[in-house]
Each structure stands twice: as structure tokens, then as C-alpha cells.
Amino acid sequence: MQKVVFKLMLIAVTLFFALNLTGGAVAGGLQKIGKLEGYVDIVAWPGYIERGATDPNFDWVSEFEKSCDCKVRVKTAGTSDEMVALMNEGGFDLVTASGDASLRLIAGKRVQEVNKKLIPSWDKIDPRLQNAPWHTVDGKHYGVPYQWGSNVLMYNTDVFKGKPTSWKVVFEEMILPDGKSNKGRVQAFDGPIYIADAALYLKHHRPELGIKDPYELNEDQYKAALELLRSQRKIVNRYWHDPFIQIDDFTNEGVVASSAWPFQVNILRSKKQPIASVVPVEGATGWADTTMMHVDAPHPNCAYKWLEWSINKKLQGDLAAWFGSVPVRLDACKGNNLLGDEGCTVNGLDEFERISFWKTPVSNCATQGSCVPYYRWVTNYIAVLGGR
């Protein structure tokens, strides 16, 4: 598995160079929905496209297939780099891209501008997300917002009797409240974008570094983040990207703290495991995901049907309940039996301003003269994982 991850990261490096050389974006051509092709192929995060196979209460695919006569086929991806690689290969219609992938896909001409006229529910989307910079370029929209949330600190409540207040429990070797070391009992995310988590931690604990944006790091700030990650490497049990493997590690392998998605928290709690989560004092990184259409989508008519379906009120509420995320339309926060009227608050609705949403690091950055670009994040994180 590690070799596969390394291969995907290397592909991402190649793509990064290609994107910087090509630039630009592609406008959508579909002006009206025509004959449906019978299928829509989606690259998605695990847990994002459910048809009731895991839990019959969570199924937003079956009704779509019946009403639209478009069969949904899903390819799950565990990292943004994997999503970019798959979209570069082609053959897919849609991808649920996070902010560290979306602009790469736009710049690389892998996705097309969407025609909002074919998405009647667009105006129902949270205004904070309608023109978000991770899918809007020069006033053009290259996708439809899907869900958002934070990368929470998940922890074992048998070990932590109170909420841990800092990410320090996963970044620095220490004795935990149960009297044992955290060495070999914590995890970190298996993706270069995790460098931003280290930078966010340093922004709070080493203000002299002057970090303003964890995705915009000068050479000294970047070096400090890598040093922290190399030190963390000594205590990490596993670098996770498959949420189900992380769920097993917390259940059977003695892991007690890690960055995680609310999805894992919800699954573990549904299994009566002693698990909780928190956004610590430093804040958190997070994701605001956008469903984007491939420039050469083989089933564009079914794809547009899904884009509209993806933001219906019930689906948005059900998905938020399942994944532990926040809907992109706020009216989905009320009246959903699965989510409950307090579900959006529980899932972090009020944390929006404390989240540093994923975005692709570039050299020409806003907060300072020059920053370390993403291709270096990729190569250096590979080295960290390899103990170098």
C-alpha cells in the first residue's frame, strides 16, 4: 500500500509541473440536458456516495437511479493526489474534490465550467460557498459545493478523561493521562497536505515564525514544519488515508489519538467505542468539497442530473448525518430525522471561521513574497514518511 501511495504522490509531482505549464481552464459546453446516457461515474471520498450497503438508513443513490434512469458507479479515493491522478487518466464524469485538488484540476484543464442554469437549486447553496475561491476562477464556477467540515482530533475517552485541548498529543512525545507514552499510539494523515497541520500547530506555538496561512509558507516556516513532522515520525503508529483501516486501528490496535474525519468518529461511536472528537485551541485544517465535472465527461447529461440531485435538501441532511459534515445548504440543518435539529451545530457549523480549508500551495502567494510550492510538499512528505 505504501508503494501505491508513493506512486500516486510522484504522479502528483508530474501533474503539478504540467499544470504550471498549461494553465487556463475549460468552459462547459452543455446548454440543455438531453438524452440520458444511463450511467454516471464518480470519483469520491469514502462514505460520500451511499446506497444503503453499510446502513440501509443512508441511501441517496437508489432513488436517484430510479427517478433519473442513470446508474451511479463510484470509484473511491483516499487522497486528493489520487483524485487528481484518476481525473488525469480520464473516463470519469465527476469528482468530489477538496480545495487542495480543485484548483489543480482547473489549471490542468481536467474539469469544465458548470452551467448554473442547469442546476436549479444553485441559489439554495450557502452564500459563503457559492463563490468560494477553491472552485471559482475569474468569476466562473467549476463545480457545485457538496459538503464541508474539519479534520478533527479524534481520541479515546478511556485514555483522555477530559477533552485534549491541543494537537500536541499527536505532534510531540508525551505521557498521556493514562500514565503511558503516546509513542506508537497516535496517527497522522498520509498526504502532503498534512504539512499544513504542522504549520497550523506552529502558528499557535511559535508565533516568532510569523505564519499567517498554513498553506503559504516561506523557506524558514516550511523548514520548521518539516522538522516537527520528522520528530512526529518517531511516535506515529501509522499514516492513515483509508478511514476504515483507521477505524480498525482505534478498535483493535491500541491507537488512541489522531487527526480524523468526523466520518470515523461517527462509525466508531455507532459501534459503542469510547471515542470523541474536538477542534483544539490551535483550530483545524478542513475541507470544503466541490463536485466537479471532467472536461471529457462521457455521460454529461446524467452528470448534470447528479449535480442537481447532490444538493437536494434531504440528501444534504442525510450525508451530513452520515459523514459528520456540514451541508452546503443551511435549510438542510432543520427537519432531517437522521441529522436532528442540532446536528449541524454538533458537526461544526459554528467553527467555519476557525477552519483553515485545504488549498493547493503555490509559489506566488498572498501573505508574503514567495512561498514553497506544492511539488516540494509532495517530495518532502515522501521523505518524511520514509524516515528521512
Encode pLDDT of 300-319 as tens digits: 999 999 999 999 999 999 99
CATH 3.40.50.300 for the 2-148+287-351 domain, yes or no: no
Q: Is the dihedral of CA 189, 344, 199, 183 positive or negative?
A: negative
d(CA 6, CA 1): 9
Cα–chain center distance at 178: 32
Query: What is the distance in angstroms between the CA of the first residue and the CA of the last residue of the chain?
Result: 19
**Per-residue DSSP letter, 167:** T
Low-confidence ranges of the chain (pLDDT < 50): 1-27
β-strand partners of 155: 257, 276
d(CA 122, CA 133): 17
Task: For residue 228, give the 3-state DSSP assignment.
Answer: helix
Residue 337: which residues within 8 A CB-CB, separation 6 or more?
none
d(CA 309, CA 312): 5
Give me the pLDDT at residue 206, please: 98
d(CA 187, CA 243): 12
Q: Give me the architecture of the 150-285+361-385 domain, per CATH.
A: 3-Layer(aba) Sandwich (3.40)
Tens of pLDDT, residues 242-283: 999 999 999 999 999 999 999 999 899 999 999 999 999 999
Residue 381: which residues within 8 A CB-CB, separation 6 or more?
9, 191, 192, 194, 195, 229
The full set of domain ranges for the chain reads 2-148+287-351, 150-285+361-385
Give me the pLDDT at residue 28, please: 53
By the 8 A CB rule, do 95 and 10 touch?
no
176 backbone dihedrals φ, ψ, rounded to 5°: -85, 170
Residue 71: which residues within 8 A CB-CB, separation 6 or more?
38, 39, 40, 65
d(CA 295, CA 25): 9
**Per-residue DSSP letter, 173:** -
**pTM summary value:** 0.85
Give me the pLDDT at residue 23, please: 40
* Gyration radius from the chain CA atoms: 20
d(CA 344, CA 320): 8
**Per-residue DSSP letter, 209:** G
